Structure 1
């Protein structure tokens, strides 16, 4: 059996390659000479090669033949160069700091040491801590991100820290200082948890920053800490009950501006006072501002619906409008727009989103009470809100009442409230 298998196995000279054509297929003639093999890039037969001429050497900056200097668009950089930012020393520190913040660190001028330090140099951790505390008060008071960064930058440069970078967002402040390019940076940050507008405190903080950045005043770190602690300890010019009465006065004045009388003034003021106290209760329990605004919007709407159900001859829409006027977050809206115009888009987006949520809370509170009123049979007349009433003397007095209420709500200094009202 083994011998038969060996006999059938082809010998080595009979073995064929897999690429050998089978029998009966004509084979291609072998190449006569190796030089006949041509490249696929060679010119075909019958096509003459172009004459080899010497190509002129050109520069990479040589304009093309189709370029015309007279019809070319104007260049971005003018012939006289780009004007640099000039920082006049006699200009306010706010303008100088805003201009330097927008410059790269390497292009900022050397700081003028306005405050004396020890021979060993400024105490960097204490300067950064003081800077963050000042920025925290400003941001918590509702100031724009650019103003907060300018104040922080002014404090650092006044104490000799030139390579510092303040950064302000909606609730976070941070500052980084690097002594040189080879040293490790030192970074500190603080978070703003609670915000409330107090113009008296803001004015005191700006006076402190102005004294620190001034050459005429000598404010050491200890003196700056003492004044800052005094600012934080000082109470607000007006207590909570004064703010509540101011909210009622604001609502009453707004209701008279839209055509209300004395009954409407009293009803709108009462609704705003009740809403303000309910918001204070919710704030004391730690509820977010969305629910505070939603609850504060319910009493004015409820009083307006109650007057409508009692068939009292008053404009219920004026009562609701006046009561809601005290809830409008105008200061936050202005700060958000300011941050957007100055280029702080993240902070601006956060502020505007907060304003949107507060508006939604107000709308939710009003709609809930209107739904209850409709279920009780109240005949709502939305067209009343579109009627305009012209009473110049009464409206001027109402506008003065609005100004007085706003000054109290913003915690303006007592000595300036009467001047602001007039």
Structure 2
């Protein structure tokens, strides 16, 4: 691979790094992973002094060959965010092949353009069906029967249709979440008012998880833990705003239930140990269907289901043993993180694909509904339930990241990476496995390589 000797080639390299970073960031990758991947691409092509900056809405690459040269800078804005694990996986594979010199610059630019513009490969009806089965799986996990699962499935289908239609009008996600929460709660209250033998709290709790799934919990906590506080603050605020929309919508349904005389108080708890098999099955179905709805590769669905089912059973068993919910959520998340890393390598996908899908059944939908129902009855205990729900969400995200810390091998490439990156890699290769490009020095001839210490 020749040296970088023209501004045009330099700009093409910088554009490739920006397009890769944009795809990773838009699909939930952490800022540290995005910045390290972009820097690896620039470094591989000889841009040793390239400066890479990543914020939540903008990516910047700047390069200045010599102090007397005019610096070159390119920027891209991240305007569209929609989780597509197929795109994330394909970009990850492209970067690995690029750093191994299996593709050249021009071919890599063509491939990233194809990935960015091809759209989703799975039909819309398939994604819609997955959303309903996700809600049904959560319903079984939290102790619902087949009637609860059926109504939760219908509610989830209505939510997905409504979100899809509202997204076409480019409404902010806050209003979309309000509509989703209101739709789920009104359907549950309506069926209970018609004397259908169903517990509305279970239906609403299952659909709260559907609305929470896909929010950037892991990316936000990863950015905070790795020192990217500005981007972490933006991600956390977005998650809080979306969650507030869910709370507003569900609260409207709870008020409607009170007017209709429907008992909306949450008297339920997680199922006993005798139903642990149903919990495992429900957690596995929820994780697999979420992975399918986010276009994860087919080969990952069964491993994700197995990991999520075990994690869900650990969580429910711990709650039955009177262990604090946030603590047992962290324990289950750490185990998920430890197992997900080798599974992701075996499935040839980024670890982010596995961990995000596997923790979906553990999201605190039941705790959030318990907080709302208590506050609707002027019971201040709902404040403490809300704090517990927040603690569970943070524990899940921080737990899977800590599990990745423990799982990733302390090999030579990992120790090298630690000088540039404070944290585990959830997306992107560890090192540039290809040969380094030759650098031309003013006296002529290639610059000699340093001996490794």
Q: Choose 124-133 or 361-370, whichever is displaced more.
A: 124-133
1:220 to 1:250, Cα distance in 2 relative to 1, 3 A: same
Query: 1:183 Cα shift?
Result: 2.1
1:272–1:324: 8 Å Cα contact kept in structure 2? no
Quote the Cα distance in structure 1 between the aligned partners of 2:75 and 2:129: 38
Query: 1:235 Cα shift?
Result: 4.1
Match in the other structure for 1:91: none
Query: 1:117 Cα shift?
Result: 4.6
Q: Choose 306-315 or 246-255, whichever is displaced more.
A: 306-315
Query: 1:286 Cα shift?
Result: 0.6
1:339–1:348: 8 Å Cα contact kept in structure 2? yes
Aligned length: 305
Quote the Cα distance in structure 1 between the aligned partners of 2:199 and 2:270: 10
**Aligned to 1:238, which of 98, 122, 128?**
122
Normalised by the length of structure 1, the TM-score is 0.69
Query: 1:239 Cα shift?
Result: 2.7
**Aligned to 1:385, which of 265, 268, 274?**
268
Match in the other structure for 2:359: none
**Aligned to 1:311, which of 186, 195, 204?**
195
1:218 to 1:297, Cα distance in 2 relative to 1, 3 A: same
SS of the aligned residue for 1:195 comes to coil
Unaligned runs of 5+ in 1: 1-114
1:210 to 1:346, Cα distance in 2 relative to 1, 3 A: same
Match in the other structure for 1:11: none
1:178 to 1:273, Cα distance in 2 relative to 1, 3 A: same
Unaligned runs of 5+ in 2: 307-453
Match in the other structure for 1:252: 136
Quote the Cα distance in structure 2 between the aligned partners of 1:412 and 1:204: 11
Query: 1:275 Cα shift?
Result: 0.9
Match in the other structure for 1:177: 63
Query: 1:354 Cα shift?
Result: 0.3
Matches within 5 A, 1:147-226: 147-214=33-100, 217-226=101-110
Match in the other structure for 1:15: none
**Aligned to 1:228, which of 92, 112, 119?**
112
What per-residue deviation string (whole Å, max 9, x for no partner) do you get for residues 291-315 of structure 1? 1111111222112211321233322
**Aligned to 1:320, which of 204, 212, 221?**
204
What per-residue deviation string (whole Å, max 9, x for no partner) do you get for residues 196-220 of structure 1? 1111211111122122222xx2432
Quote the Cα distance in structure 1 between the aligned partners of 2:86 and 2:50: 29
RCO comparison, higher one (Cα < 8 Å, 6+): 2
1:140–1:197: 8 Å Cα contact kept in structure 2? yes
1:255–1:265: 8 Å Cα contact kept in structure 2? yes
Rg comparison, structure with higher value: 1
Normalised by the length of structure 2, the TM-score is 0.64
Quote the Cα distance in structure 2 between the aligned partners of 1:127 and 1:296: 42
Query: 1:167 Cα shift?
Result: 0.4
